[in-house]
Structure 1
Amino acid sequence: MDADAQNAAMKSASRRYGEVTHIRFSADELANLKAVAERDGVTVSEVVRRLVRAEAGHLPIASEALRPVIVDMTDQLRRVGVNFNQAVRAMNDGRVAYDEDLEQALIAVGDLVRQFRDELKTMTVGSRKAREARP
């Protein structure tokens, strides 16, 4: 990789992740991290990010086999969200009898749908190394 391409890749990673940290590992720990990275076809940094996400309670990054299913689920959730928005809009426009409790419930469910959809989308992003390897 030439210097310009390497600088562009670093700037892209900086925009995506923003922060850099330095961690010391024992030789065995680093060997284990590298083995996991090699097995999954990702960088050591991606392995560490995944471990942090898992510890923080976030959904994991999807495997290549699950990616199409999750992309389909994400699209279905988008459709559900659109339907919730239409229901709330119909109440706000007076086309449906207004019910404050129903409106709040629809808004809450819509928020949950968006949150879950965002989590699913995050699962399908994958690592830079995996994206570059795709045809």
Structure 2
Amino acid sequence: MMRSEVVRVRLRPEEREALAGLCGKSRTASEVIRLLFRDQAGLPLPVGPVESDALRGTNEELRRIGINLNQAVRAMNEGRVGYEPHLDAALRNLLEGVFRLRADVDLMLRISRQERRRGGDGV
């Protein structure tokens, strides 16, 4: 998605100096402000290529865990193992958490790809 919204902010000289220090030579003030905002708002942060590889591996492991949890729930519902309501609820909660975590990792990877395409370093 293209960035279309503009926000103007007034800073004191010491705040502007601190922002410049965070930018260094490799980042623009806009990049730093977006990263700080995303962090404080609890939004996924873009990651670099090395972290992206690790996250893809993590996502694959989460997928496998989800498959196993789903098989356990299915076995209970089909009567292949004894039905335990509390265990069923716990497995479903775990499965939902794994799905949410995978969605967050997918979003982080998508944001990072978009940042790299735009020429940012993804961090």
When normalised by structure 2's length, the TM-score is 0.71
| 1:97 is the counterpart of 2:82 | yes
Indicate how the Cα distance of structure 1 residues 38 and 84 shifts in structure 2: closer, same or farther if over 3 A, else same: farther
CA RMSD of aligned residues (A): 3.2
Indicate how the Cα distance of structure 1 residues 92 and 75 shifts in structure 2: closer, same or farther if over 3 A, else same: same
Residue in 2 that maps onto 1:9: none
| Per-residue deviation, residues 41-85 of structure 1 (Å, max 9, x unmatched) | x892x5433222211234532222211011110111011111111
Give 3-state SS (helix, strand or coil) of 2:64's partner.
helix
Aligned residue pair count: 116
1:59-74 matches, cutoff 5 A: 59-74=44-59
Q: Distance in 1 between matches of 2:17 and 2:62?
A: 39
Conservation of the 8 A alpha-carbon contact between 1:81 and 1:110: yes
Give 3-state SS (helix, strand or coil) of 2:47's partner.
coil
> Out of 85, 93, 101, which is 1:108 matched to?
93
- Aligned-pair distance for 1:103? 0.4
Q: Distance in 1 between matches of 2:70 and 2:29?
A: 40
When normalised by structure 1's length, the TM-score is 0.65
Q: Distance in 1 between matches of 2:113 and 2:26?
A: 13
| Per-residue deviation, residues 23-50 of structure 1 (Å, max 9, x unmatched) | 23449749947x739625x892x54332
Structure 2: unaligned runs, 5 residues or longer: none
